[in-house]
């Protein structure tokens, strides 16, 4: 929900992200998350990224030829990771120390094509589809850094990636793999389907209300309340967060022109890594700012942006727009962010599915299964600290106005309603 330095802006999601349904389990292991990792570039020499991490020269690749890009790649602070491209890659394989689930990040850049649809390919990991219709130009643009991030179950001792062309030739610049956990299952860790009587309050065993006004650091115009006029169940399996016009003075002494609701799982549920998803109907109206996001659980003690922040969905009074952002602290600019936007096609009921895959080595944000935004440590400036490696909690809110947002006017509906069908976390 905060604004700041935009490090990368990517738009136009085309690829389809496939989340495998993991059904088996691995033998026990004493390995810890992050204990084993592999970083490989396709070029002939080792490379050091912006954070002084060493990437080994090409091993394990078959198919294609390596070409060097004529100019520096955009959207990254580690352009050396992308300077060489294996054009026509077919396979990459590497031994892993144990069965388990591994986080995989493919570093991709479009070297030559300048039209969407001319280079499209799919990727399988140990025979399971992890991405299809990957279109580097359509998703990122010419010589612009992009990623495919996945959680891959490995039941044996080898991880193999297969690249298949749909149009043109597949490309790859670098691959990062890191051990995440022993289990191969991806289980539902937490959820809320918002079932309850019409007009009833949200489940207080899962959510708490954050209340008050004063702008919330963003020049927002509302006071958040715990009143059921601002947040309630509709009796049909939906949470309604309603922004209502009218002067209101909260217990904090601030008088605002609107009331709304902001609920969080702080003190109820927090998590580290996994897939978080919500089905939401975004309201239309000038000045409205709905969001589904997560913030570091240590924010009360360390403050923002040291806490980190993951915005799975923000919109600005337009259901056809989705904005995803990852905020990190930066010693040079206070905070750095990877922020991306894309168009949204809603269902006949006006809903869309917003999700984020959060791994130790990177984050991928999607809408309706289409990934459009990536944030990985290697792409951040050397002055930026990656803090997306600790527990976070979830938030849902509907703000009015705010920094960078149009001012609410007479056309802004009251009540303006954000409907949430479900929220789920898989780990």
Q: Show pLDDT as tens, one digit a residue, over the chain (427 residues).
A: 543 333 333 334 444 444 333 333 344 456 888 899 999 999 999 999 999 999 999 889 999 999 999 999 999 999 999 999 999 999 999 999 999 999 999 999 999 999 999 999 999 999 999 999 999 999 999 999 999 999 999 999 999 999 999 999 999 999 999 999 999 988 999 999 999 999 999 999 999 999 999 999 999 999 999 999 999 999 999 999 999 999 999 999 999 999 999 999 999 999 999 999 999 999 999 999 999 999 999 999 999 999 999 999 999 999 999 999 999 999 999 999 999 999 999 999 999 999 999 999 999 999 999 999 999 999 999 999 999 999 999 999 999 998 877 788 889 999 999 999 999 999 9
Backbone angles phi, psi at 326, to 5 degrees: -120, 120
* Total Cβ atoms within 10 A of residue 8: 23
Q: How many CA atoms lie within 13 A of 52 on its CB side?
A: 4
Distance CA 312, CA 308 (A): 13
Peptide bond into 382 cis (omega under 30): no
Q: Return the ∠ at Cα 13 (arms to 11 and 19), rounded to 5°.
A: 135
CA dihedral 21, 24, 28, 34 (to 10 degrees): -20
**pTM, 2 dp:** 0.93
| Helix, strand, coil shares, percent, the chain, to 5 | 5, 50, 50
Note whether 341 and 9 are within 8 A (CB): yes
Residues ≥6 apart with Cβ < 8 Å to 160: 91, 92, 93, 125, 126
Distance CA 386, CA 51 (A): 10
Residue located via tokens 């003075």: 249
Structure tokens at 12: 């136009």
Distance CA 80, CA 276 (A): 32
């Amino acid at each position: 929900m905060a604004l700041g330095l935009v490090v990368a802006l990517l738009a136009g999601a085309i690829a389809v992200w496939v989340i495998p349904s993991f059904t088996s389990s691995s033998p026990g292991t004493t390995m810890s998350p992050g204990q084993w990792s592999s970083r490989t570039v396709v070029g002939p020499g080792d490379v050091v990224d912006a954070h002084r991490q060493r990437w080994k020269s090409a091993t394990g690749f078959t198919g294609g030829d390596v070409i060097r890009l004529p100019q520096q790649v955009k959207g990254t602070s580690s352009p050396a990771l992308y300077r060489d491209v294996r054009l026509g890659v077919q396979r990459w394989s590497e031994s892993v120390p144990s069965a388990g689930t591994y986080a995989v990040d493919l570093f991709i850049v479009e070297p030559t094509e300048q039209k969407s649809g001319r280079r499209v390919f799919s990727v399988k990991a140990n025979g399971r589809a992890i991405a299809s219709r990957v279109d580097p130009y359509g998703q990122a643009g010419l010589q612009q850094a992009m990623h495919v991030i996945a959680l891959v179950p490995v039941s044996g001792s080898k991880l193999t990636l297969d690249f298949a062309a749909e149009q043109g030739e597949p490309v790859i610049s670098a691959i990062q793999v890191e051990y995440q956990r022993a289990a191969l299952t991806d289980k539902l860790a937490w959820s809320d389907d918002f079932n309850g009587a019409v007009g009833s309050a949200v489940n207080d065993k899962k959510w708490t209300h954050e209340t008050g006004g004063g702008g919330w650091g963003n020049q927002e115009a509302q006071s958040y309340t715990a009143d059921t006029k601002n947040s309630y169940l509709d009796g049909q399996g939906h949470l309604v967060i309603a922004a209502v016009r009218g002067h209101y003075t909260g217990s904090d002494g601030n008088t605002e022109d609107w009331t709304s609701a902001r609920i969080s799982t702080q003190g109820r549920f927090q998590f580290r890594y996994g897939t978080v998803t919500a089905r939401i109907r975004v309201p239309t109206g000038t000045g409205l700012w709905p969001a589904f996001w997560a913030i570091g659980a240590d924010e009360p003690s360390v403050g923002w942006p040291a806490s980190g922040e993951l915005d799975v969905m923000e919109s600005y009074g337009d259901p056809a727009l989705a904005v995803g952002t990852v905020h990190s602290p930066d010693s040079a600019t206070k905070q750095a962010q990877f922020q991306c936007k894309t168009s949204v096609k809603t269902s006949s009921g006006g809903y869309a599915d917003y999700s984020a895959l959060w791994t130790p080595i990177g984050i991928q944000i999607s809408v309706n299964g289409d990934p459009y935004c990536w944030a990985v440590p290697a792409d951040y400036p050397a002055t930026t600290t990656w803090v997306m490696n600790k527990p976070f909690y979830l938030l849902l809110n509907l703000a009015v106005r705010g920094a960078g947002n149009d001012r609410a006017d007479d056309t802004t509906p009251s009540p303006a309603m954000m409907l949430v069908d479900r929220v789920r976390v898989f780990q």
